[in-house]
Structure 1
């Protein structure tokens, strides 16, 4: 065998030297090219997996043939390291040796069970199992082979679970073994396939296939950038629809400064050529793209799969925040996303359990034409005010334009009538820029001087980052609760007092 390998190496070197010197024949050049192609085709498979849990096939060879292991094994990947859990057909295995390290039985009284690190999937490894079934313990050599099933049909997939959502109702994630089926209200279904797992046959036309890892992503929806950053998934995003100066998410701003995140055109006019040259195959849009359906069609025509997120349509503010679970799963950061979300909910639970203060809160901005832009009473901002212990009401005013927007316009006279007695005024600094003083507000319209909140000095502003800072939900609720109850030290993270 060694002499054969040596001969192949010598022949290959001779052929390469011949080609480099320009003296090789056409046949020899073709042989070199064929050899290179063969080498590429037979290269070691990439066994690395995204963080998560998998079900894989496992085969056992060796021993007398009487012992076996369950044909399926659970594999959990944490920080890039895969750990397999196998279950023997016997209760007599007390330990295993894997790469020289000893692992003891985890299932005392039941079939012997072991968890140990593996290189990934697929992989083959030699192990030792110690059995006490005979008169004396015996160490027996075995070979374990881990692999994914090659022939899978979508129609035969069986649901094994569902990602738990506590507040969000605009998306759903069903688990089918190694696969996750994502459903977004009015915006389609997506089959998420982990790296190394085969694409099922017979996938319906209305289901978009997403194969991990999802890299070189074009992120158009600026409201979810903050969520992605909190999961540690920013490295998967290469293109954005905002320029550096338009970002209020610092990590995104820094990424644009160092060139790892690049502007690729706004949502209505993306740079298709740039996206294709950069290897982009996935775009995350918000519902603004529905105003330019030809953009979505063109992206999909070019092979760039499009997901339209609807986080802003969540009526519960924690539902909007819970979209972090979806992005965590997309980018292999599910545990980080779950941990962050649970921590945020824990922060505001005590506030949510308090009785309402009954105090009235107005949330608004003054447009350049003098009209007042307010949030509709049933959106997540009005819900945040309610969770903080306040009341959001526009009196008897109703929205005449029955559209899907979360904001609506009011004439100053109508706003005056509805909100003159408000206990707290919060100016939305996202729309026309944040205010610096109450005088600046009164200059916009002298009628503001009559408002109860202006007279009592209870006027606040959000920063320009209000819309993009999706993870500031709990900061906003805590700040406003302090204002309404008078509790706390008066230090605010999200609101600024004028």
Structure 2
């Protein structure tokens, strides 16, 4: 009995210790805000700070980065993250996908530096570059660190895929706050759009971000509901061969999810991987030659597409003229709004997709990003 008493006592101590650790961890990260779709981040509200956690999409269960957002820089925070004073007053954005989120939040004017300005579509950013208010820092993978340090922004928002390269190590060593944004790893358009909450937290605009996302979600669901009633689901092929490789959306990717939401049928829809699937034009002919609609071609006309490779002419979608690209909103230097605002407003690209697959469902809708090859 005495032996049993010690076992029970040890178990009680162990259980109490774990409970306290869990409680302390909860107190450190704060009361969690509701995230409906995105799996790449969390936000918690504590009494004196906001805790934003970015999860590692390549190693499930691991934390990639953690930020403690404070209004008073003297506020004490846990030591397992980076302290950042909010709201941010200046930001360098190394991806154009952040611009529309910032514009919706009314914070686009805080951007002082961008990458590869020639490929930017957003008119306000381009105006800032022209007037000298926004600095072009060159290639995102080879930032002009010297000019970046001259700008001395409060933070640099960057995609996590460059976290381990020499350029990013120099960036971190510079002492600047590096904010890793991994929205591109999400598996649905709504999950990607929900990263407005992530960006909003750094500008102390969580309530506005939540309201904006709720509107985006409603619009997306309303449009998607139209396509779920259809009995006929046209088949799709996506992309185009490039130097011997035809990259197509995997079954768990956000594009494959969009195809389903738009009332389409996709050969890889039962595939259980995310990201993309590498194929070639011969395999594409086997699996997609009878596809009704072809989206994401890089050509500007059917004639141009046929000249790139005569095999393209063997596809049913080519023969019937149902080939679309995503270049309706482009500027003279090559900036494409599809890569910018479509991320934050997914109901528009979904509407485009439905228009291509089921034009009768949206008779008065005009394409936003897509257009049919002439």
- Per the TM superposition, whether the score is higher than 0.5 is yes
| C-alpha contact 2:92 2:157 (8 A) present in aligned 1 | yes
The alpha-carbon distance between structure 1 residues 370 and 309, as it changes in their structure 2 partners (threshold 3 A), is: same
**Distance in 2 of aligned mates of 1:156 and 1:390:** 43
| Matching residue within 43, 46, 53 for 1:176 | 46
Mapped partners of 2:140, 2:97: distance in 1: 13
Deviates more, 1:350-359 or 1:305-314: 350-359
Gaps of 5+ in 2: 1-23, 57-63, 328-335
Q: How far apart are the structure 2 equivalents of 1:422 and 1:334? A: 43
CA deviation digits over 1:43-80, x for unaligned, max 9?
xxxxxxxxxxxxxxxxxxxxxxxxxxxxxxxxxxxxxx
Separation in 2, partners of 1:347, 1:287: 29
Write the distance in 1 (CA, Å) between the matches of 2:322 and 2:143: 43
Q: What aligned pairs does 1:368-387 form with structure 2 within 5 A after superposition? A: 369-387=243-261
- Give 2:143's aligned residue: 270
Q: How many residues in Structure 1 have an aligned counterpart in Structure 2?
A: 329
Aligned to 1:484: 357
In 2, the alpha carbon distance for the partners of 1:458 and 1:355 equals: 22
Cα distance change of structure 1 residues 428 and 333 upon mapping to structure 2, 3 Å threshold: farther
Matches within 5 A, 1:446-485: 446-463=310-327, 464-469=336-341, 470-485=343-358
Determine the C-alpha separation between the residues in 2 that align with 1:352 and 1:177.
39
User: Which has the larger helix fraction?
Assistant: 2
Of 456-465 and 330-339, deviating more is 330-339
Instruction: Report the Cα offset of residue 424 of structure 1.
Output: 0.8
Change (3 A) 1:328 1:418: same
> What is the Cα-based RMSD across aligned positions, in Å?
2.6
Number of the residue aligned with 1:439: 303
- Do the aligned residues in 1 keep the contact of 2:29 with 2:51 (CA within 8 Å)? no
Q: With structure 1 as the length reference, what TM-score do the two structures score?
A: 0.61
Report what 1:224 is aligned to.
98
How big is each residue's C-alpha offset from its partner over 1:148-170, in whole Å with a ceiling of 9 and x where there is no partner? Answer: xxxxxx98956653222111111
Structure 2 CA distance for aligned equivalents of residues 214 and 167 of structure 1: 26
Give yes or no for contact 1:359–1:423 (8 Å, CA) kept in 2. yes
SS of 1:377's equivalent in the other structure is coil
Query: Against the structure 1 CA distance between its residues 225 and 415, is the aligned structure 2 distance closer, same or farther, given a 3 Å change threshold?
Result: same
Q: Deviations over 1:219-243 (max 9, x none)?
A: 1122222222221111222111222
Paired position in structure 1 for 2:233 = 358
Q: Does 1:190 align with 2:60?
A: no
Which has a greater percent of strand?
A: 1
Matched, 1:295 2:167: yes
Q: Is the 8 A contact 2:241 2:280 kept in 1?
A: no
Distance (Å, rounded) in 1 between the aligned partners of 2:271 and 2:217: 33
Partner-residue secondary structure (3-state), 1:280: coil
Post-superposition CA distance 1:376-435 (Å, at most 9, x none): 222111111111111222499999xxxx8x344321100111111111100244xxxxx3
Q: For 1:320-339, list aligned pairs within 5 A.
A: 320-339=192-211
Q: What corresponds to 1:410 in structure 2?
A: 279
Cα distance change, pair 398–346 in 1 and its aligned pair in 2 (3 A): closer
Structure 1 stretch displaced more, 475-484 or 155-164: 155-164
Equivalent position to 1:199, from 65, 75, 93: 75
Distance, in Å, in 2 between the alignment partners of 1:193 and 1:481 is: 43
Give me the whole-angstrom Cα distance separating, in 2, the residues matched to 1:258 and 1:467: 24
Could you say if the C-alpha distance between residues 321 and 426 of structure 1 is closer, same or farther in structure 2, counting changes exceeding 3 Å? Answer: same
Alpha-carbon distance change, 280 to 313 in structure 1, aligned in 2, over 3 angstroms: same
Equivalent-residue separation in structure 2 for 1:250 and 1:366 (angstroms): 31
> 1:176-230: per-residue Cα shift (whole Å, max 9, x none)?
1241111111221111112x363215x22x3111111323322112222222222
Alpha-carbon contact 2:241-2:247 (below 8 Å) kept? yes
Which has the larger displacement, 419-428 or 326-335? 326-335
Q: CA deviation at 1:278?
A: 2.1
Structure 1 residues 252 and 376, CA, compared in 2 at 3 Å: closer, same or farther? farther
Output one character per residue of 1:107-152: Cα deviation in whole Å (capped at 9) or x when no partner: xxxxxxxxxxxxxxxxxxxxxxxxxxxxxxxxxxxxxxxxxxxxxx
User: 1:295: how far off?
Assistant: 2.5
- Provide the secondary structure at the position in 2 that maps to 1:476: helix
Stretches of structure 1 that go unaligned for 5 or more consecutive residues are 1-153, 430-434
Partner residue of 2:115? 241
- Looking at CA atoms only, which structure, 1 or 2, has the larger radius of gyration? 1
TM-score (norm 2): 0.80
The SS at the match of 1:358 is coil
Alpha-carbon contact 2:115-2:137 (below 8 Å) kept: yes
Q: Which has the higher contact order (CA 8 A, sep 6+)?
A: 2
